[in-house]
Amino acid sequence: MARRWWVRGVVWTGIGSATLIGVLLFILVLVTQSAFGREQVRQVAVRVASGYLIGSLHLGALRFGPGCALAIDSAALRDPDDSLLVSLGPTRATCDFGALVRRRLVVTSLEVARPNVVVRQLPSGVWNWSRAIKPDTSPPQPSTGGSSPVAVVGPVRLSGGAVVLEVPWAPSDSLRGAARDRANDSALA
């Protein structure tokens, strides 16, 4: 008689565990495969990133693939003056799911189409990137000798991009008249 109760307990525990796993899988599919779920993930990602940014981040539509695959339709990072810092076309990435569970992001492949990066030095000497990202004011943590929380170990493919470097320029103060005009003309040519 006691054995029957034990068997029933094991059976009901198995049924409960299977139901819990089924519900968790349903929620995972709902979050990653429905338009509503993908939009919620996109909003959370933008909200988390805005905690580190003074500028703004726009993420396009997200798509999740099997395993640990992610596709982003487009992305743009702007500084507080709404000047473009980075824009990305369609981007695909895959990661190591086991590392993700251990709170590390290991990117196994990355494909970025049409990345555009603008690096601009303002006349004051400040770079645009320093104005878009919040400075880290926390005290430095002692090194534990552990590995970085983010690593890229697979192939990275960039196609059709551009990097623009803008530095203010002015002719030398020692130039006068025609020499100054020639320096301006050669700089603009």
Report the helix count and the strand count for the chain, using DSSP H and E.
Answer: 5, 11
Given a contact cutoff of 8 angstroms between Cβ atoms, the answer to whether 83 and 118 are in contact is yes
| Residue labelled with tokens 């068997």 | 7
pLDDT at res. 183: 84
> What tokens were used for 19?
């139901």
- Whole-number pLDDT of residue 92: 93
pLDDT score of 179: 85
List the structure tokens of 90: 């369609």
Type of residue numbered 2: A
Per-10-residue mean pLDDT of the chain, 189 residues long, equals: 70 86 80 78 86 88 83 91 91 86 83 93 86 79 66 87 87 83 81
> Which letter does DSSP use for residue 82 in this model?
-
Helix (H, G, I), strand (E, B) or coil at 161: coil
| pLDDT the model gives residue 147 | 63
* 132 C-beta neighbours (distance < 10 Å), count: 21
> What are φ and ψ of residue 126, in 5° steps?
-85, 140
